[in-house]
């Protein structure tokens, strides 16, 4: 907890002057609140007994003074509400930036085991309550302590016995608050977990809305959502039950204190131990004493709510990226593309079964290499190890004789172009999506890349050309069009190493032919790995590797492997049937 609190307080540092300004106005406002009842007491105890003219002038003076004090208090409250909330919003933005940047550092392994909706809740809803805590927490504590100490001192000054009577309920209130706040903390944590689950289910359902509608399964998705919603309501029911008990109990005890003060105060008056004016002042200060006490108790609720969100925030920040640059990592501005696998083995973190087992492979710069084999033998995994999307479990991968773990990740990945079967295009225009390959590219370079990818013609067929909005994930484009845009991105990037991961397997024959031409143009003079589903597309590969569960089973050209009449020949016969 100490580490978490230290991190929490560190977000105040960039806004320390705003924070201290907020604290200054909080103290000033609290002091004014304490001062006004003292002025009222002075008027009722002293000024009313002055001579007529003097009493009128004094009352007028104090009236103007109280109006000025109220205006100053108004200014204090305005600053605290406006600038205080702005400070909280900026701190929330800083936290959101930190967690988003941390998300970018985490490897595929992390995302393989997390749901997007859950990760989104950590960066949105969780942070709101943290902001409320960061803004209102210190402010409420300072105001409450000043009012509590000030009011208690003044109450003692007015009448010690009556003050002690007032204090009877305080320990009971504290014990009551501690008990219910523990209950609420656990309930708030459950609420956050439920919200994350609902977000995850919504994200999953909306992302797959086309699949949902194609199977006419809207009712199933609604039922799944309702189940999550019901679980959320059930967790809320607990927290609201505790909140109801807490607030109603505190409210009842607060009223009891006022009743007790009135009864005891009247009893003291009958015995000549208290003036009527002092009882009125006392009642005014009782509110000044009880309100900060309630605020402090409410702060514990705010703290539990906000801190449970911060714990979830820190859960993510505390996850160290499993793939990081080595301390002695070197910057490699340009690679030739000679790639060597030296006794490489790999298994996923959550599964100890080996996917790749002692693979040895040499690929020369500019060589066109195809990988074939049944699903699950590790073709995609082998290629994912080259840009270090996953880390090898054993052995080493070297490019131009340098272990990729000794290279800076940014430099390594900047020199690898990947075209996948499932093309991801961002919401925006065609121009913006191609420019993603090299953000500093000119419009002319983007057009040239599109021409090289055989995409220029279909782009210009749209009324808005390169400024056409393609929708979420490029839903307004066909599969072949999306694939050509992804190839244009890689043309623009111009890397020495390419990976085509079943890039044409989901396309029709006509689209496949066009995309295949684009891929072959892109692969010219680059080290290229092609993961092939349709073996007819790799006849021209300089080398074909046949992967099985035991490793590299066969290796050679298309003709050589057919003549061996082995695993490749069997796969090829199946593919052309």
Residues 370 and 280 occupy one common structural domain:
no
> Is the residue at 567 inside a domain?
yes
- Contacts with 301 (C-beta within 8 Å, 6 or more apart), sequence order: 181, 184, 243, 246
pLDDT for res 356: 85
Q: Does residue 544 sit in helix, strand or coil?
A: strand
- HEC readout, 144-208: HHHHHHHHHHHHHHHCHHHHHHHCCHHHHHHHHHHHHHHHHHHHHHHHHHHHHHHHHHHHHHHHC
Rg (CA), the chain: 35
Residues 134 and 197 occupy one common structural domain:
yes
The dihedral formed by the CA atoms of 349, 353, 357 and 363, expressed in degrees to the nearest 10: -50
pLDDT for res 338: 92
DSSP string, 285-297: HHHHHHHHHHHHH
- Contacts with 385 (C-beta within 8 Å, 6 or more apart), sequence order: 344, 346, 356, 391, 392, 397
**The domain that contains 423 carries what CATH number?**
3.40.50.300
Residues 278 and 422 occupy one common structural domain:
no
Indicate the pLDDT class of residue 396, thresholds 50, 70 and 90: very high
State yes or no: pLDDT of 210 exceeds 70: no
Residues 468 and 527 occupy one common structural domain:
yes
Residues 179 and 263 occupy one common structural domain:
yes
**How many alpha carbons fall within 13 Å on the CB side of residue 388?**
25
User: For a pLDDT cut of 90, what percent of the chain falls above it?
Assistant: 6
> Is the residue at 398 inside a domain?
no
Give, rounded to a whole angstrom, the gap between the first and last alpha carbons of the chain: 64
CA distance 34 to 147: 7
Residues 142 and 279 occupy one common structural domain:
yes
> Which one has a higher pLDDT value, 135 or 397?
397
Residue 422, number of CB atoms within 10 A of its CB: 11
pLDDT per residue as tens digits for the range 329-341 = 888 888 888 999 9
> Is the residue at 176 inside a domain?
yes
CA distance 181 to 296: 12
- Number of compact structural domains in the chain: 2
**What's the rounded mean pLDDT across residues 393-404?**
91
- Contacts with 259 (C-beta within 8 Å, 6 or more apart), sequence order: none
pLDDT for res 339: 92
> Is the residue at 276 inside a domain?
yes
CA distance 366 to 453: 19
Residue 236 CA: distances (Å) to CA of 140, 304, 576? 26, 15, 59
**What's the rounded mean pLDDT across residues 261-284?**
81
Residues β-bridged to residue 368: 528
pLDDT per residue as tens digits for the range 144-158 = 888 888 888 888 888
Residues 424 and 552 occupy one common structural domain:
yes
pLDDT for res 570: 81
Residues 277 and 370 occupy one common structural domain:
no
pLDDT for res 508: 62
CA distance 568 to 553: 9
Residue range(s) defining the domain that contains residue 510 = 366-374+415-576
pTM over 0.75: no
Q: Which of 277, 297, 317 is the endpoint of a domain? A: 317
DSSP string, 346-412: E--TT--S-SEEEEEEEE-TT-EEEEE-STTSSHHHHHHHTTTSS--SEEEEEETTEEGGGB-HHHH
pLDDT for res 89: 83
State yes or no: pLDDT of 525 exceeds 80: yes
pLDDT for res 52: 73
**Closest listed residue to residue 550, CA positions, set 378, 435, 294:** 378
> Is the residue at 39 inside a domain?
yes
Helix/strand/coil percentages in the chain, nearest 5: 65, 10, 25
pLDDT per residue as tens digits for the range 25-51 = 988 988 888 888 888 877 877 777 777
Q: Does residue 343 sit in helix, strand or coil?
A: strand
pLDDT for res 577: 60
> Is the residue at 361 inside a domain?
no
- 403 phi, psi to nearest 5 deg: -60, 130
Indicate the pLDDT class of residue 71, thresholds 50, 70 and 90: very high
State yes or no: pLDDT of 492 exceeds 60: yes
State yes or no: pLDDT of 502 exceeds 70: yes
User: For a pLDDT cut of 70, what percent of the chain falls above it?
Assistant: 94
Residues 295 and 420 occupy one common structural domain:
no
State yes or no: pLDDT of 390 exceeds 80: yes
Residues 83 and 192 occupy one common structural domain:
yes
> Is the residue at 338 inside a domain?
no
Strands 339-346 and 394-399: antiparallel
Residues 302 and 237 occupy one common structural domain:
yes
State yes or no: pLDDT of 509 exceeds 80: no
Residues 221 and 153 occupy one common structural domain:
yes
Q: Are 281 and 41 in contact (CB under 8 A)?
A: yes
Indicate the pLDDT class of residue 506, thresholds 50, 70 and 90: low
> Is the residue at 349 inside a domain?
no
- 395 phi, psi to nearest 5 deg: 85, -160
**The domain that contains 236 carries what CATH number?**
1.20.1560.10
Mean pLDDT, the chain, as a whole number? 82
């Amino acid at each position: 907890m100490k580490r978490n609190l230290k991190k929490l307080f560190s977000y105040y540092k960039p806004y320390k002057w705003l924070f201290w300004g907020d604290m200054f106005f909080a103290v000033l406002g609290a002091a004014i609140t304490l001062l006004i009842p003292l002025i009222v007491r002075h008027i009722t105890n002293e000024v009313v007994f002055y001579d007529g003219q003097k009493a009128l002038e004094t009352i007028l003076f104090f009236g103007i003074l109280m109006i000025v004090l109220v205006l100053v208090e108004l200014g204090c409250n305005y600053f605290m509400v406006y600038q205080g909330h702005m400070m909280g919003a900026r701190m929330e933005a800083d936290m959101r930036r930190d967690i988003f940047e941390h998300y970018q550092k985490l490897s595929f392994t992390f995302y393989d085991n997390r749901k997007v909706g859950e990760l989104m809740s950590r960066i949105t809803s969780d942070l709101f309550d943290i902001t409320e805590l960061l803004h209102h927490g210190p402010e409420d504590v300072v105001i409450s302590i000043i009012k509590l100490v000030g009011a208690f001192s003044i109450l003692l000054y007015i009448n010690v016995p009556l003050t002690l009577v007032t204090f009877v309920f305080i320990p009971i209130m504290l014990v009551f608050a501690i008990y219910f706040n523990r209950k609420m903390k656990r309930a708030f944590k459950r609420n956050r977990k439920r919200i994350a689950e609902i977000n995850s289910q919504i994200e999953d359902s909306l992302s797959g809305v086309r699949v949902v509608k194609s199977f006419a399964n809207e009712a199933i998705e609604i039922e799944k959502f309702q189940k999550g919603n019901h679980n959320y309501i059930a967790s809320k029911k607990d927290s609201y039950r505790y909140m109801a008990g807490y607030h109603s109990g505190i409210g009842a005890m607060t009223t009891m204190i006022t009743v007790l003060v009135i009864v005891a105060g009247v009893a003291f008056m009958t015995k000549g131990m208290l003036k009527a004016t002092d009882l009125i002042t006392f009642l005014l200060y009782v509110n000044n004493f009880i309100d900060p006490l309630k605020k402090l108790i409410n702060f514990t609720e705010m703290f539990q709510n906000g801190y449970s969100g911060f714990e979830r925030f820190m859960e993510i920040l505390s996850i160290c990226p499993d793939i990081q640059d080595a301390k002695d990592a070197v910057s490699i501005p340009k690679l030739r593309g000679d790639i060597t696998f030296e006794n490489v083995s790999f298994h996923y973190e959550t599964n100890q079964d080996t996917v790749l087992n002692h693979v040895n492979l040499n690929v020369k710069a500019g060589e066109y290499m195809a990988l074939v084999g049944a699903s699950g033998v590790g073709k995609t995994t082998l290629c994912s190890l080259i840009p270090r999307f996953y880390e090898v479990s054993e052995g080493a991968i070297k490019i131009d004789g340098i272990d990729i773990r000794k290279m800076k990740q940014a430099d390594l990945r900047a020199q690898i172009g990947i075209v996948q079967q499932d093309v991801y295009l961002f919401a925006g225009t065609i121009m913006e999506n191609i420019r993603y390959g090299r953000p500093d590219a000119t419009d002319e370079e983007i057009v040239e890349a599109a021409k090289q990818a055989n995409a220029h013609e279909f782009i210009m067929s749209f009324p808005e050309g390169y400024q056409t909005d393609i929708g979420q994930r490029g839903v307004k484009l066909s599969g072949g069009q999306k694939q050509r845009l992804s190839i244009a991105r890689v043309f623009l990037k111009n890397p020495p190493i390419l990976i085509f991961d079943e890039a044409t397997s989901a396309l029709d024959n006509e689209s496949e032919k066009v995309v295949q031409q684009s891929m072959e143009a892109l692969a010219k003079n680059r080290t290229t790995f092609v993961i092939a589903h349709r073996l007819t597309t790799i006849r021209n590969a300089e080398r074909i590797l046949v992967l099985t569960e035991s490793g590299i089973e066969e290796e050679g050209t298309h003709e050589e492997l057919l003549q061996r009449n082995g695993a490749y020949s069997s796969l090829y016969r199946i593919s052309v049937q």
